[in-house]
């Protein structure tokens, strides 16, 4: 059973993946093996190479775990957390830990063997986004979970494995990750001082300033954030205030699909298909709906953060949370506007 | 002038290195050029290839910026922050920023062209540690600075440049980095609840448990932390409580030199000379010396964190502060004890 362990100083939870445990030799420096896995378990026709599907968007009349789907969600065959069992929260001397309970799913974003999300049609991306929404909403029913992360690793340098088939992952957690907590606390502090959502204020300033605005399509904007940690770091935000990604309608998903396709296509052209990650930042499960000064629903604002993996991050940046970015976000936005 | 910009949500300060600004082409994927810079500006005899030295440990009778030194501290020739100027703290609409004022020095750790700190003699490492101490203490006199980071990048994969000469860097900052603040706040909360230093409690539990203890030499221990984020992550702590690295005596420096040499030698043997970073975590400048419940001097405990760079960190780990470690720290400690 994997373990969730809490750092006693900083309060950060870490998954100790005991079942993935490795020997020192596995970490020795080697030239990366980029041979692809064949046959690809995520291609249409190879449905029997994955665990049975949890959900799929399929053509009428087709059967589960058979061809005929547009989007398919399956359990990760090597899950970092286990879905079965009790949390069993316990001390270990002065330390705190619990069983590594959680969900770890793979969202297969196209039946075809394509690596590029930006080459999918907007309609297809919209279906993927609706699948994210439905999985997030469905897992809220499991009261063991406090937060759900949806993220994409594009290309091996971003953390992806050797399978080059367009997909994202979902991890549902019994704890709220440290940085998410930091965002919630920061947004709450801002709201209590200003009586306005900090993200709404950012959107309003960026639409006025235009210097860090990458694009504006329908109800969404893409910006280079003012204190970007990474070159070409990009945030996509809905202009309408909403804390929860699952509030998106089919129409929103279609518009967001257009924005995502456009931003990723521009990065692809400008930076020659860079490795990247994106992460959906949404409100936690089971948040209180009423508060005296504010609630997460009033303070927080869901968004997507895209991080191209272009620079080597020095360990001291992980160790200190202190970043040096050689690309001013105003320049990055200009390059992406022109791309 | 570089800029320090604050993320309006999470409160994280980032250096926007405007003078290092790059074009998109500079980020395109390329096979790493590992040609060494020749001649090496950090070798004895090449003193005129660096800016004039700030400090050095030298043989009696030798002149500054000439051969005859054991440790030499020089300004970084491409500093990420500028030493001259005013902070000029200012708003930018809803955002906060200030000039990128700070110090950025290079501590050259041996006159010989050696890459490996672990091949230096303990006595030499002790001299290096005393140089760290003196630089930290000296820069406290500059009231613009709130914190000083000392870190080492070993090998290019850790963020080092192409010069393979053993050295560390120092960055003095007008703000306290986010994670350091998190550590200080966490340690304070623990102290207020328990009336004990959390690091002292960790040391006592690890000395009893022994499962995560890597070694114990004189006044120092090296452990694999309970919630390690990375395989073979190692912390070195002084057994005697002290918040401030500059409290070390020459004797402490000699003992710490032995511990550092031993830990790095074991990593070198076990993991075939892995890239790594280490960071000295010490108390901030100008902290209040009196408080009702506690002070940073009572709550906090300086230490060194060593992070081998063995795994690819997925962007979502930066984005969420949520880490997955495939090497249980008990196993890592066992391997390092046996190495």
User: Measuring CA to CA, how many Å separate A76 from each of A105, A106, B255?
Assistant: 5, 6, 48
- Give the separation between CA A251 and CA A44, rounded to whole angstroms: 27
- Give the separation between CA B63 and CA B69, rounded to whole angstroms: 9
Tokens 């249980």 locate to B328
239-258 in chain B: CB under 8 A from chain A: none
> Which of B12, B14, B318 minimises the CB distance to A307?
B318
* Rounded mean pLDDT, B182-210: 96
The verdict on a CB contact (< 8 Å) between A316 and B279 is: yes
**What's the pLDDT score for residue A21?**
63
* Rounded mean pLDDT, B288-294: 86
The verdict on a CB contact (< 8 Å) between B305 and A314 is: no
A108 three-state secondary structure: strand
Burial classification of residue B162, based on how many CB atoms lie within 10 Å of its CB (0-12 exposed, 13-18 middle, 19 or more buried):
exposed
Among A266-280, B53-67, B133-147, B149-163, the minimum mean pLDDT is found in B149-163
* Rounded mean pLDDT, B120-139: 98
**What's the pLDDT score for residue A85?**
93
The verdict on a CB contact (< 8 Å) between B326 and A14 is: no
**Residue A38: both structure tokens together:** 């064949």
A310 three-state secondary structure: coil
| Chain A closest-CA separation from residue B218 CA (Å) | 24
- Partners of B21 on chain A (C-beta within 8 Å) are 326-328, 331
- Partners of B174 on chain A (C-beta within 8 Å) are none
Residue B251 pLDDT exceeds 60: yes
Among chain A residues, CA nearest to B304: A319
**What's the pLDDT score for residue B32?**
54
Strands (E), A146-254: 147-154, 167-173, 213-217, 220-223, 234-238
In this structure, what DSSP letter does residue B166 have? -
User: In this structure, are residues A7 and A92 in contact, taking their beta carbons and an 8 Å threshold?
Assistant: no
Q: Is B324 on the interface with A (CB under 8 A)?
A: yes
Tokens 């050689």 locate to A326
User: In this structure, are residues A221 and A258 in contact, taking their beta carbons and an 8 Å threshold?
Assistant: no
112-141 in chain A: CB under 8 A from chain B: none
Residue ranges for chain A with pLDDT beneath 50: 31
A181 contacts: CB under 8 Å, gap ≥ 6: none
**Nearest alpha carbon to residue A71 among A121, A26, A23, A30:** A121
Which is more confidently placed, B17 or A116? A116
Quick one: which H or E segment has residue A264? helix A250-271
Tokens 């949404």 locate to A282
User: In this structure, are residues B108 and B73 in contact, taking their beta carbons and an 8 Å threshold?
Assistant: yes
Residue B108 pLDDT exceeds 60: yes
The percent of residues in chain B predicted with pLDDT above 70, rounded, is 96
Strands B234-238 and B276-281: unpaired
> Which of A92, A177, A310 minimises the CB distance to B320?
A177
For B296-322, write each residue's pLDDT tens digit.
999 999 999 999 988 777 766 777 778
- Cis-peptide, bond into residue B264, ω within 30° of zero: no
- Give the separation between CA B307 and CA A244, rounded to whole angstroms: 36
A167 three-state secondary structure: strand
- Give the separation between CA A294 and CA A215, rounded to whole angstroms: 31
Q: With the C-alpha atoms ordered A105, A111, A113, A116, is the resulting torsion angle positive or negative?
A: negative
264-303 in chain B: CB under 8 A from chain A: 270-272, 274-279, 281
> Which of A151, A326, A335 minimises the CB distance to B316?
A151
User: Measuring CA to CA, how many Å separate B33 from each of A85, B77, B165, B206, B277?
Assistant: 49, 21, 17, 43, 21
- Partners of B180 on chain A (C-beta within 8 Å) are 320-321
Strand partners, A103: A172
Domains and CATH numbers, chain A: 3-173 (3.30.428.10), 178-338 (3.30.428.10)
Please give the distance of CA A282 from its chain centroid, rounded to a whole number: 9
The verdict on a CB contact (< 8 Å) between B277 and A316 is: yes
Q: Is A101 on the interface with B (CB under 8 A)?
A: no
- Give the separation between CA B150 and CA B161, rounded to whole angstroms: 17
User: In this structure, are residues B285 and B146 in contact, taking their beta carbons and an 8 Å threshold?
Assistant: yes
**What's the pLDDT score for residue A34?**
60
Please give the distance of CA A117 from its chain centroid, rounded to a whole number: 14
* Rounded mean pLDDT, B126-152: 97
- Partners of A200 on chain B (C-beta within 8 Å) are none
In this structure, what DSSP letter does residue A304 have? E
- Partners of A229 on chain B (C-beta within 8 Å) are 12, 14, 318
**Residue B175: both structure tokens together:** 């703000």
For A231-259, write each residue's pLDDT tens digit.
999 999 999 999 999 999 999 999 999 99
- Give the separation between CA A18 and CA A2, rounded to whole angstroms: 5
**What's the pLDDT score for residue A32?**
53
User: Measuring CA to CA, how many Å separate A247 from each of A79, A204, A287, A315, B173?
Assistant: 28, 21, 15, 37, 42
Please give the distance of CA B36 from its chain centroid, rounded to a whole number: 24
B106 three-state secondary structure: strand
Cβ neighbours of B310 (radius 10 Å): 23
User: In this structure, are residues A230 and A325 in contact, taking their beta carbons and an 8 Å threshold?
Assistant: yes
**What's the pLDDT score for residue B96?**
95
- Give the separation between CA A178 and CA B221, rounded to whole angstroms: 28
The complex scores an ipTM of: 0.92
**Would you list the DSSP string of A121-158?**
-HHHHHHHHHHHHHHHHHHTTSTT--EEEEEEEESGGG
Tokens 């997460």 locate to A296
Q: Is B34 on the interface with A (CB under 8 A)?
A: no
The verdict on a CB contact (< 8 Å) between A151 and B329 is: no
Tokens 């291609």 locate to A43
**What's the pLDDT score for residue A315?**
66
**What's the pLDDT score for residue B20?**
62
Which is more confidently placed, B332 or A293? B332
**Residue A14: both structure tokens together:** 């870490």
* Rounded mean pLDDT, B80-89: 93
Burial classification of residue B75, based on how many CB atoms lie within 10 Å of its CB (0-12 exposed, 13-18 middle, 19 or more buried):
middle
Q: With the C-alpha atoms ordered B127, B130, B132, B138, is the resulting torsion angle positive or negative?
A: negative
Q: Is B35 on the interface with A (CB under 8 A)?
A: no
The verdict on a CB contact (< 8 Å) between B93 and A319 is: no
**What's the pLDDT score for residue A318?**
72
Q: Is A5 on the interface with B (CB under 8 A)?
A: yes
The verdict on a CB contact (< 8 Å) between A318 and B313 is: yes
- Partners of A324 on chain B (C-beta within 8 Å) are 14-15, 17, 80
Residue B28 pLDDT exceeds 70: no
> Which of A12, A16, A277 minimises the CB distance to B328?
A16
Tokens 């440049």 locate to B161
A82 three-state secondary structure: strand
Please provide the distance, in angstroms rounded to a whole number, between the alpha carbons at the two ends of chain B.
47
Among chain A residues, CA nearest to B314: A159
pTM over 0.80: yes
């Amino acid at each position: 059973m994997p373990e969730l362990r809490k750092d006693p100083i900083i309060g950060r939870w870490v998954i100790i993946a005991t079942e993935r445990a490795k020997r020192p030799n596995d970490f020795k420096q080697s030239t990366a093996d980029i041979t692809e896995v064949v046959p690809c378990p995520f291609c249409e026709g190879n449905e029997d190479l994955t665990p049975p599907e949890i959900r799929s968007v399929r053509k009428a009349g087709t059967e589960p775990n058979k061809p005929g789907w547009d989007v398919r969600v399956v359990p990760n065959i090597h899950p970092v957390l286990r879905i079965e069992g009790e949390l069993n929260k316990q001390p270990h001397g002065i330390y705190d830990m619990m069983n590594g309970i959680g969900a770890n799913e793979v969202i297969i974003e196209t039946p075809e063997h394509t690596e590029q999300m930006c080459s999918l049609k907007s309609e297809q991306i919209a279906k993927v986004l609706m699948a994210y929404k439905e999985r997030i909403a469905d897992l809220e029913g499991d009261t063991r979970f406090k937060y759900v992360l949806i993220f994409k690793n594009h290309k091996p340098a971003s953390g992806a494995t050797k399978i080059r088939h367009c997909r994202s992952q979902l991890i549902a957690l019994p704890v709220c990750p440290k940085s998410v907590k930091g965002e919630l606390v920061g947004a709450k502090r801002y709201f209590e001082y200003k009586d306005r959502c900090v993200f709404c204020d950012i959107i309003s300033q960026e639409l006025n300033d235009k210097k860090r605005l990458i694009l504006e399509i329908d109800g969404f904007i893409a910006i280079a954030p003012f204190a970007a940690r990474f070159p070409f770091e990009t945030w996509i935000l809905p202009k309408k205030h909403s804390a929860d990604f699952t509030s998106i309608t089919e129409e929103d998903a279609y518009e967001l699909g257009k924005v995502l396709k456009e931003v990723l296509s521009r990065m692809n052209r400008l930076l020659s298909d860079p490795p990247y990650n994106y992460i959906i930042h949404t409100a936690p499960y089971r948040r209180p709906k009423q508060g005296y000064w504010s609630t997460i629903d009033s303070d927080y604002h869901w968004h997507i953060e895209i991080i191209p993996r272009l620079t080597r991050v020095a360990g001291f940046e992980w160790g200190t949370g202190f970043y040096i970015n050689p690309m001013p976000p105003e320049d990055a936005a200009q390059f992406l506007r022109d791309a």
